[in-house]
A = this chain, B = another copy of it.
Amino acid sequence: MREILREVGMIARALDSISNIEFKELELTKGQYLYLVRIFEHPGIIQEKLAEMIKVDRTTAARAIQKLEIQGFIEKKDDESNKKIKRLFTTEKGKLAYPFLKREGDHSNSVALAGITEEEAETLFQLLQRVRKNIEVEWDSVKKGNKRDY
Minimal Cβ-Cβ distance residue in B for A12: B12
* B130 and A127 form a contact (CB under 8 A): no
When the two chains form the complex, which single residue of B3, B127, B142 contacts A116, counting CB atoms closer than 8 Å? B127
Contacts A2-B109, A5-B108, A128-B124 given; indicate if A54 touches B10 (C-beta within 8 A).
Answer: yes
Cβ contacts A1-30/B at 8 Å (1 or 0 each): 111110111111111111001100000000
Counting CB contacts under 8 A, is A78 at the interface? no
Counted per complex, copies of this chain come to: 2
Residues of chain B within 8 A (CB-CB) of A103 are: 150
Interface-side segment among A69-77, A85-93, A131-139 = A131-139
Counting CB contacts under 8 A, is A112 at the interface? yes
Name 25 interchain pairs, CB-CB below 8 A, sorted by A. Answer: A1-B121, A1-B125, A2-B105, A3-B125, A4-B109, A4-B112, A4-B124, A4-B128, A5-B112, A7-B125, A7-B129, A8-B128, A9-B54, A11-B132, A14-B55, A17-B57, A22-B148, A108-B138, A112-B131, A113-B131, A113-B134, A115-B130, A116-B130, A123-B127, A124-B124
